Amino acid sequence: MTPRPRWVLVVLLAMVAGLLSWSGPAQAHGTIVSPATRAYQCWQAWGSQHMNPAMQQQDPMCYQAFQANPDTMWNWMSALRDGLGGQFQARTPDGQLCSNGLSRNNSLNRPGNWRTSNISRNFTVQLYDQASHGADYFRVYVSKQGFNPATQTLGWGNLDFITQTGRYAPAQNISFNVSTSGYTGHHIVFVIWQASHLDQAYMWCSDVNFT
């Protein structure tokens, strides 16, 4: 039998490498892992099986996010914005908070039945930062009682400011406690991370169920 040309093997290896690249860990920088952000919980649930057709029925919000831009889940660096100078509200329009004002991550702004994490009125926020940037501060907000994340996009007027932390030294794992009162049911915990190494800001939405 005549051997197949070498280029066929090269093409096959390239295809396999491309497939494997989708099954590795998310890339660099950091994200809130608890309560899980919209992008993180989609990556956690479906990252190793993102082609599973069951996702469309079992988890439609993650399905639409993967369909819109898989990089939203895989590349945590894609969530940052440079040079905001602390002007988060002035430079982030209503309806774009969950994507940090980035059109490439707009799927995260869509209202719907996002999976929730159960939390109590006193809960812990946990950041995993592969690059160990540290923090100038974190700001934490909770959506107002009566706001419906399943049907409404999030705006600044829908948020209650809860707390701002102090500085944190560079570390891969940072956690801090948050105390609230008066919340029940499905809410959004909105967190801003102002990194220390540069003027870089991250904003995330985590869907929670206050129990």
Confidence of residue 28 (pLDDT cuts 50, 70, 90): low
Q: Mean pLDDT in the chain? A: 89
Confidence of residue 161 (pLDDT cuts 50, 70, 90): very high
In angstroms, rounded to a whole number, what is the distance separating the alpha carbons of residues 78 and 202? 10
Report pLDDT digits (tens) over 118-160. Answer: 999 999 999 999 889 999 999 999 999 999 999 999 999 999 9
* CATH class held by domain 26-210: mainly beta
pLDDT of residue 197: 80
pLDDT of residue 79: 85
- Considering the entire predicted model, what is its pTM? 0.86
Amino acid identity for residue 128 in this structure? Y
Residue 186 contacts by C-beta under 8 Å, 6 or more apart in sequence?
Answer: 116, 148, 149, 150, 207, 208, 209
What is the arithmetic mean of pLDDT over 30-42? 96
Domain ranges in the chain?
A: 26-210
pLDDT at 19 exceeding the cut of 50: no
pLDDT at 6 exceeding the cut of 60: no
What is the arithmetic mean of pLDDT over 162-175? 97
Q: Percentage of the chain surpassing pLDDT 70?
A: 87
pLDDT at 180 exceeding the cut of 50: yes
Tokens 């005549």 locate to: 2
Residue 134 contacts by C-beta under 8 Å, 6 or more apart in sequence?
Answer: 167, 168, 169, 170, 171, 174, 195, 196, 197
Residue 84 contacts by C-beta under 8 Å, 6 or more apart in sequence?
Answer: 91, 199, 201
In angstroms, rounded to a whole number, what is the distance separating the alpha carbons of residues 145 and 169? 34
pLDDT of residue 143: 99
pLDDT at 23 exceeding the cut of 70: no
CA 134 to chain centre: 18
